Structure 1
Amino acid sequence: MSSEIYTIGYGNRSIQVFIQLLQKYEIQILIDVRTNPFSRFNPDFRSKKLELHLINHNIRYLFLGYELGGKPSDLDCYTNYEVDYQKIQSKVFFTIGIEEVININHEGLKTALMCSEQSPLYCHRKALIGDYLQANGFDVRHIDKDGTILNELF
């Protein structure tokens, strides 16, 4: 059982480069944590099309944007109209999503959490999910804009 969990953002990457990065790090399942699983700018990253691309490369796809998305519909998750990650982390839907990620990891599947923002420094996948997992003993590895791994983010 591995305690490694990767994160990745697609940003302006092509689907080919994105999949090459997933293959480089031997990702077996991609968990989409976008609140809204579509892209206005790149149709390859709309959930259904993305899932087809991944299936064609033997990578599983799972959408957990309702549970782990950075813009929840629950208005109790906001303070002064800003998303409050501590409030989200106290919600049942977040706990359900995190438990799903942990269970998948415990099954031995090499996992990556995906959002649209390429840099983990500016994305909820780091501040909301990655920091939470790291505080609970996971080795969170962020695939950065240039494809390298960032372990320590400040």
Structure 2
Amino acid sequence: MVARLPRPTRAPLMLAVYSGGREWSCSGLVQHDEISGGVLTIGHSTHAIDAFLALLRLHHVTAVADVRSAPYSRFNPQYNRKPLTEALKVQGIWYVYLGRELGGRSDDPACYEDGRVCYDRVAATESFRNGLDRVMDGATRYRIALMCAEKEPLDCHRTLLVARALDERGVDVAHIHADGVAESHKAAMDRLLDIQKLPREGDLSGT
């Protein structure tokens, strides 16, 4: 389970554009009055650590769940597990590593076909389900951000695998972008369908 910590103050979760020190609601974004059950995702990308921490503070994150298969970055060493944990601790943000459970590269050979990982097989494993349980349990007490490396949510398993599975369990998920905008998971999936030129849910026109 996510570490048992004192219950944080329940500040409103505002998913918004941040500009000039002000928060603005945006069309297509979601806003929650309670942290219970809601989960964010974020990619550390090439952010300086201070910029990354600012994004977490903007969205009132109190715990980071690292879902990288390996908690290290060759080109961005500030995101190696030890220095990242220390930087988060200074901000009062807790760190937990869930890459073994929720990483995009499973250790189970059965999750691969022709050398390529099959997300549906990963999602069916007991380890993955246990990882989801830990996130959902922790989300009742903390504002959790699932962290991986990719800047664009649609390029990352945190969206295509983990967030999708949480969404199927009825968890509200939103993805923090590099500019401070948080996009609802549904909006992200609609954007993916648009990129692939596929009809959105409920669109019978096929265009």
* Same fold by TM-score greater than 0.5: yes
More helix by share: 1
Match of 1:129 among 162, 165, 183: 162
Aligned partner of 1:139 in structure 2 is 172
Q: Which runs of 4+ in 1 moved over 2 A?
A: none
Out of 41, 45, 54, the residue aligned to residue 88 of structure 2 is: 54
Q: Residue 147 of structure 2 corresponds to which residue in structure 1?
A: 114
- Aligned-pair CA distance for 1:85: 0.8
Report how far residue 80 of structure 1 moved. Answer: 2.1
Q: Aligned to 1:34, what secondary structure does the other structure show? A: coil
CA distance in 2, matches of 1:47, 1:73: 20
- Who is 1:14 aligned against? 48
Q: Does 2:69 correspond to 1:35?
A: yes
1:153 paired residue among 188, 194, 197 = 188
Show the counterpart of 1:78: 112
Partner residue, 2:5: none
Q: Distance in 2 between matches of 1:140 and 1:79?
A: 29
Q: How far off is 1:145 after superposition?
A: 2.7
Identical residues among aligned pairs (%): 36
1:64 counterpart = 2:98: yes
How many residue pairs match? The answer is 153
Q: Which runs of 5+ in 2 are unaligned?
A: 1-34, 190-207
Matched residue, 2:199: none
Pairing partner for 1:94 from 128, 135, 155? 128
d(CA) in 2 for partners of 1:147, 1:73: 34
1:109-152 Cα deviation digits (max 9, x unpaired): 10000000011100000011001111111111100132211111
Return the letter of the residue paired with 1:142. H
Aligned to 2:196: none
User: Any gaps of 5 or more consecutive residues in structure 1?
Assistant: none
1:51-109 CA distances to partner (integer Å, 9 max, x unpaired)?
00000000000000000000111111112211111100111110111111011012x21
Deviates further, 45-54 or 88-97: 88-97
Q: Could you say what the CA RMSD is over the residues aligned between the two structures, in angstroms?
A: 1.0
Tell me how far apart the structure 1 counterparts of residues 46 and 180 of structure 2 sit (CA, whole Å): 13
Matches of 1:20 and 1:3, distance apart in 2: 23
